[in-house]
Structure 1
Amino acid sequence: MRETSKRISGLFFNETVFDVVTSLDEFSALYKTAKQAWFSGKKLWEELESDKLQPDPIRTDEKNSTEQQCPNSITLTGPEFLSRKRILELPCGLTLGSHITVVGKPRWGHRREGEQELMVSQFMMELLGLKTVDNEEPPRILHVNPRLKGDWSGKPVIEQNTCYRMQWGHAQRCEGWNSRADEETVDGQVKCEKWLRDDDGTTEDSKTVWWLNRLIGRTKKISYNWPFPFAEGKLFVLTLTAGLEGYHINVDGRHITSFPYRIGFVLEDATGFYLNGDVDVDAVIAASLPSSHPNFAPQQHLEMFKKWQAPSLPVVLGQVELFIGILSAGNHFSERMAIRKTWMQHNLIKSSNVVARFFVALTGRKEINAQLKKEAEYFGDIVIVPYMDNYDLVVLKTVAICEYGVQNLAAKFIMKCDDDTFVRVDAVMKEAKKVVGNKSLYVGNINYYHKPLRDGKWAVTYKEWPEEVYPPYANGPGYIVSSDIAEFVVSEFEQHKLRLFKMEDVSMGMWVEKFNSSKPVEYVHSLKFCQFGCIDDYYTSHYQSPRQMICLWEKLHQGKAQCCNWR
């Protein structure tokens, strides 16, 4: 058998190419970033190979070598809470029965300028997974947003949701109507209680009648419509409780709403309580907290068992039909382990008809690099691209995927996906094989005539991308190209002809378009390569947490290509 895995990418990075890049070049900034990242990564890798870096791979908190304490309760005054940037840290997360109480007062509405001037008074309360992954936006395990002045509905509303890797789920909105009688409850509590709306005909007279009936001893049960639980300038006492089936929110002693737990978001990961917006906080109290300390070190998710190791590669080149390159970050230990335990256990991968590898760059944290090297050596499924990881340079990993699939495997098809993408391996193979003959193909959820965003978080400058539209490109969470396109990409890169752009999926679209000018490419579009979450009968599902991966795999074993989240 051939070597199970090549740990270091064979991508040839000619440093002399940077000598001809001038400051006038529209892509000079990206090239300069790549040069610096490659030099830094090369040095780090040499240190790793020489065994100079030998830190404890399990220890992730360099500042505190002792186990953190798990207080049963935490109390902060308003000024203390404000001084901590409105975050109450929960060292050991939450557990069943844990509760957080807030004493606060909503501020009076203020004008928000926009297309139409609106009066706004709202605040956000969130449970955050602060220790899930470093240097990433923490998942919002619970998001609660009371809007006293309403939103597009024009009526007061409480919206609840979850968010993983900046992808929001389906919101639960409480708008003053009682939950339907046939709607599922949470620990026996309705998801939304009824409150008094200004359009339901209830008047002060009806309240007077209610009190009179009560005073004269009427025995028949009478319902009373309470007002919206929050009022500008009025003190409230809110308690958030973790139940068996979900979260429960009480305000001033009255149940207001319940929100069921969602797959992938668990109590022990809720290590931060955040409250911000148009609200003044007098006190925050967390109680009934867990007494034991869950280990948040991402490396602890690694299960060092031989059954999760990658199978040996075929002896003869060309026997691999599909190669799947998975983009991953150095500290995404739990994401990689979840994939190893789920769709990488597919029979097509176990038989080596399909091969999957993680492509990971190096980080500035030496202990992470040391652990990554050991992980790669043990599981045999990681290819290290030796540069300092940088979001703008993800495109280099994509080129490395093409190089590995072509040079090491001679695979017929090359697929790229992310480490939060769940892949139905057999369905993806069938989709690639739909194109008859030896045609060049590009398969995925393809975007046509998309324009670059010129402002905001994902802004692209005219210097970075001068054109008004992007070429047709498949969304990055999952797409496939034929081997001749992958060969073209590698060849162009080695000859310094490959145009690099920080958005790797747009880059692939650009390269395929150039290839298409000399040899026809068949573009195969399918929405089942799902970009935003999951749809039933998916080919790929994106933004899947490790726990959702396990759930999807279990459902596939039941013969169901169904989603495990809320989309």
Structure 2
Amino acid sequence: MFIVLVKRYKSMILASIFFFYIGCGLTLSFLRLECAEAVSTVSSVNNKKSILHSNSEYIVLILSGPSNEEKRDAIRATWSKLSTNLFIENGEKLYKWNLTGSSPTVHHEFIKYYFAIGTLGLSKIKLDGLIQENSRSHDLLFLNELEDSYKKLSLKILLALSWISSNVEGLKYLIKCDDDSFVRIDLIVRDLEAFAPQMSDTVISEYVSYKENLPSYKGLYWGYFDGRAKVFMNGKWQERDWFLCDHYLPYALGGGYVISQSIVDYISRNADFLSHYISEDVSMGVWTAALKGVNRVHDIRFDTQWRSRGCVDHMLVRHNQTPSDMFLMYKSLVHSHGEKLCSSETPQHMLYRYKWNVLPSMCCKQYT
């Protein structure tokens, strides 16, 4: 009887089996798509943004962590708005304080902010949160092949620079900072427009020292340099693979520095050959050490040492700042029409001017 029924309903049974397997296959496919959907969205977001901002002349690259939304929001609400003080007149970019507490944010096409975040290994909840954040801010640069951690900061900046080199055609200068840095982006762009790459004008001579005065330069590396730092052999900054010498090569401290498009492209082209050290700023010093014709400029307005030197109104970057600190400085600037960064100025501890005409171990004699 059973065999008779099978023969009679053979076609129906085969059809049922066929559609069962089709259903299973579709279900598994949808599951795979759901797991990959967030990563695909990340890639499409990066591609979309690169097209929209391919002609940005100034990229502000802010290294951030997946869980640091509060810090990112503080930057969006404070110093990123300082670009409002820049405007274009007769083809030139000029500075004039134009910001009040209620001023709408002006998004200049020639300045683009990117918070670089590694997304490899993140949970779907965390990734969805970042995608939602980016849907309102449009400023996250997702590095899909990087698991975000302190020990991979050098790889992080390497991947970010490679992406920028490939996607931003009009780049002139890149301003790198951390998400706990307060940056006078308006004044940095003003000085770059007016003085770069020579950085030798009398207007800024009291703040800067540079290695050599050449008729022309092939690039700019601008920040607060150190050339006498000893190599860490243990602890958070331990460098297991360092073999070059007993001290780090001269480098601009990573709380904030500026590099030219020529350096960005050089690093991108040679990414596969470059060594990675624990500290990304140390790595940058090594990567650029052999480059000829790069103007290395030390500027005391970059407060980027391991401990803040205190607050002075002329500072361009202040590292190790909390979101509360950022709001206080922003409020002070708004109320003083850009004149006062600090509610009260404090002495600059450990300040030095870099001496480029001596060996690096003698470069950085401190004074107050």
TM-score range, shorter chain: 0.5 to 0.7
- Shift in Å at residue 565 of structure 1? 8.6
1:413 maps to 2:173 = yes
| 1:396 maps onto 2:155 in alignment | yes
Q: Does 1:539 align with 2:316?
A: yes
Residue 553 of structure 1: how far off its partner (Å): 1.2
Residues 75-123 of structure 1: CA distance to partner in whole angstroms, max 9, x if unpaired?
xxxxxxxxxxxxxxxxxxxxxxxxxxxxxxxxxxxxxxxxxxxxxxxxx
Pair 366,563 (structure 1): closer, same or farther in 2 beyond 3 Å:
farther
Q: What residue ranges of structure 2 are gaps of 5+ in the alignment?
A: 1-32, 42-48, 87-105, 199-215, 347-368
User: Is 1:489–2:248 an aligned residue pair?
Assistant: no
Q: State whether structure 2 residue 251 is matched by structure 1 residue 477.
A: no
Match of 1:459 in 2: 238
Contact 1:548 1:564 in 2 (8 A): no
Q: Is the 8 A contact 1:448 1:473 kept in 2?
A: yes
Percent of aligned pairs with the same amino acid: 27
Greater share of helix:
2
Query: 2:275 is paired with a residue of what secondary structure?
Result: coil
Q: Structure 1 residues 565, 389: CA separation in 2 closer, same or farther (over 3 Å shift)?
A: farther
Q: Which amino acid aligns with 1:551?
A: L
1:166-181 matched pairs, under 5 angstroms: none
Q: Which moved more, 1:530-539 or 1:428-437?
A: 428-437
- Structure 1 residue aligned with 2:302: 529
Contact 1:432 1:480 in 2 (8 A): no
Match of 1:370 in 2: 128
How far apart are the structure 2 equivalents of 1:374 and 1:449? 44
Contact kept, 8 Å, 2:228 with 2:248, in 1: the verdict is yes
Matches within 5 A, 1:103-502: 317-318=54-55, 320-345=56-81, 346-347=83-84, 348=86, 350-362=107-119, 364-386=122-144, 387-410=146-169, 411-433=171-193, 434=195, 435-436=197-198, 439-461=218-240, 463-493=241-271, 496-502=272-278
Native 8 Å contact 1:326 1:418 kept in 2: yes
Question: What is the aligned-residue RMSD (CA, Å)?
Answer: 2.8
| Partner residue, 1:145 | none
Deviations 1:44-75 (A, max 9, x none): 98362479xxxxxxxxxxxxxxxxxxxxxxxx
TM-score, L = length of structure 2 = 0.63
Match of 1:563 among 342, 362, 367: 342
Deviations 1:106-149 (A, max 9, x none): xxxxxxxxxxxxxxxxxxxxxxxxxxxxxxxxxxxxxxxxxxxx
| 2:239/2:277 contact within 8 Å kept | no
Greater strand percent: which structure?
1
What is the CA-CA distance between 1:316 and the residue it aligns to?
Answer: 8.2
Give the Cα separation in 2 of the matches to 1:483 and 1:336: 25
What is the DSSP-based 3-state SS (H/G/I as helix, E as strand, rest coil) of the residue aligned with 1:388? coil
Tell me if 1:48 matches 2:38.
yes
Quote the Cα distance in structure 2 between the aligned partners of 1:563 and 1:44. 49
- Are the structure 2 counterparts of residues 551 and 425 from structure 1 closer, same or farther at C-alpha, using a change threshold of 3 Å? same
CA shift in 2, pair 1:530/1:47, >3 Å: same
Contact 2:58 2:173 in 1 (8 A): yes
Q: Distance in 1 between matches of 2:150 and 2:333?
A: 33
TM-score, normalising length: structure 1: 0.42
Larger radius of gyration: 1
What amino acid maps onto 2:311 in structure 1? I
In 1, the alpha carbon distance for the partners of 2:72 and 2:318 equals 16
Please give the per-residue CA displacement for 1:275-303, whole angstroms capped at 9, x wherever unaligned.
xxxxxxxxxxxxxxxxxxxxxxxxxxxxx
Change (3 A) 1:566 1:365: farther
How far is the alpha carbon of 1:326 from its aligned partner?
Answer: 0.3
Partner Cα separation in structure 2 for residue 487 and residue 521 of structure 1: 13
- Give the counterpart letter for 2:255 in structure 1: P
